[in-house]
């Protein structure tokens, strides 16, 4: 990580906004930014600037210093289209500042928005900088940018070939997924059937949905069932992974609950032999190694 340099921040602000920002002013508010939880509320940092100096232009300078400190301190572990996405409540901050100082919200927002390109450029060129800017996206590190491009290229080449298609219809999927529970017939939702069908006809399928929508208990379990009945895959041929150990355990619990509703003994036994692990373990990530 690059060392926080208040003079550097002050120079950026001077170039961007035409302000005469002394290094000591940048130092005071970079300290606030890195030690006071600026990610939660930049307005608090700006309020501290008001207390110390009280000048509107310096308030703008403090806002930019706070953002610089937030990014440079390494808290921006995510990436987004621009600083407004990296800092989620950017519009709310601008509105609060404008209201506090009687400035037109649009004028303040436009002024800060014009500044972000310069900030990204200078941070990207700084020694030890955390940001990488490729002209479209802002990444936390150059390494993440390279990985993003590599993964995108691999996936684009990989999903073109859909030769390995499982010959199964949506009607057959619905029939497999229908079961009886305490005298009640339970059928899959149309979206769940579509998700399973996509898995059978595409090399890559991404299923998204909120809690309780059946991503694991219905969709994943039916995919596993098809892998067993239609493809003859063994439990060790299937990799189940989750971000954390607890999430992996919950996945296995959901699969076990779904297996309990199945009448086929061999299928239940198949499900019981499945194991889940963390993504880090799956990828065998170690410090200094890929």
31 compared with 255, residue with greater pLDDT:
255
pLDDT bin (cut points 50, 70, 90) of residue 134 is low
Choice among 18-32, 158-172, 218-232 with the minimum mean pLDDT: 18-32
- Look at residue 122 in the predicted model and tell me its pLDDT: 54
pLDDT of residue 148: 74
pLDDT band for position 133 (cuts 50, 70, 90):
low
Spell out the domain ranges in the chain: 6-150, 170-283
Lowest mean pLDDT among 130-134, 168-172, 239-243: 130-134
> CA-based diameter of the chain, in Å?
77
Q: Is 181 helix (H, G, I), strand (E, B) or coil?
A: strand
Question: Could you tell me the pLDDT band of residue 212, with boundaries at 50, 70 and 90?
Answer: confident
pLDDT of 275 > 80? The answer is yes
pLDDT in tens, 169-204: 889 888 888 877 777 888 888 888 888 888 888 888
d(CA 285, CA 290) in angstroms, rounded, equals: 6
**Are 252 and 274 in contact, with CB atoms under 8 Å apart?**
yes
How distant, in Å, are the alpha carbons of 63, 124, 191 from that of 116? 12, 12, 41
Closest CA to 92 of 72, 73, 68, 109: 109
3 state SS of 132 = strand
Q: How far is CA 104 from the centre of its chain?
A: 33
pLDDT for 2 equals: 30
Distance from C-alpha of 230 to C-alpha of 242, rounded to nearest angstrom: 25
Q: Which comes out higher in pLDDT, residue 201 or 28?
A: 201
Name the residue with higher pLDDT: 242 or 51: 242
Residues 73-125 have pLDDT tens digits of 443 333 333 444 444 455 555 565 566 556 666 665 665 555 555 555 555 55
At residue 135 the predicted structure's pLDDT band, cuts being 50, 70 and 90, is: low
Q: What is the mean pLDDT of the chain?
A: 65
Least confident of 126-140, 148-162, 201-215, 275-289: 126-140
For the stretch 30-87, pLDDT in tens is: 444 433 333 333 434 444 444 444 454 544 555 554 554 444 444 333 333 344 444 4
Give the per-residue pLDDT at 17: 40
């Amino acid at each position: 990580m690059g060392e926080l340099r208040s003079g550097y921040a002050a120079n950026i602000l001077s170039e961007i906004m035409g302000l005469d920002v002394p290094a000591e002013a940048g130092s005071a508010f970079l300290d606030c930014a890195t030690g006071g939880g600026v990610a939660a509320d930049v307005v608090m940092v700006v309020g501290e600037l008001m207390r110390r100096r009280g000048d509107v232009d310096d308030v703008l300078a403090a806002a930019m210093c706070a953002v610089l400190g937030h990014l440079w301190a390494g808290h921006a572990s995510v990436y987004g289209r621009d600083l407004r996405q990296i800092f989620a409540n950017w519009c709310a901050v601008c509105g609060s500042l404008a209201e506090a100082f009687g400035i037109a919200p649009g004028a303040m927002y436009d002024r800060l928005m014009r500044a972000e390109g310069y900030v990204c450029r200078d941070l990207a060129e700084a020694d030890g900088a955390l940001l990488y800017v490729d002209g479209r996206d802002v990444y936390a590190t150059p390494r993440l940018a390279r990985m993003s491009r590599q993964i995108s290229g691999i996936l684009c080449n990989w999903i073109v070939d859909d030769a390995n298609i499982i010959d199964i219809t949506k009607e057959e999927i619905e029939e497999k997924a229908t079961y009886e529970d305490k005298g009640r017939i339970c059928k899959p939702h149309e979206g769940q059937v579509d998700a399973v069908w996509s898995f059978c006809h595409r090399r890559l399928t991404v299923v998204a949905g909120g809690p309780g929508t059946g991503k694991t208990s219905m969709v994943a379990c039916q995919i596993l069932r098809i892998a067993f009945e239609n493809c003859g895959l063994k439990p060790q041929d299937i990799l189940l992974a989750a971000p954390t150990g607890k999430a992996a355990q919950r996945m296995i619990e959901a699969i076990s609950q779904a297996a309990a509703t199945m009448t086929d003994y061999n299928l239940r036994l198949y499900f019981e032999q499945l194991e889940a692990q963390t993504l880090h373990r799956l990828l065998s990530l170690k410090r200094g190694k890929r």
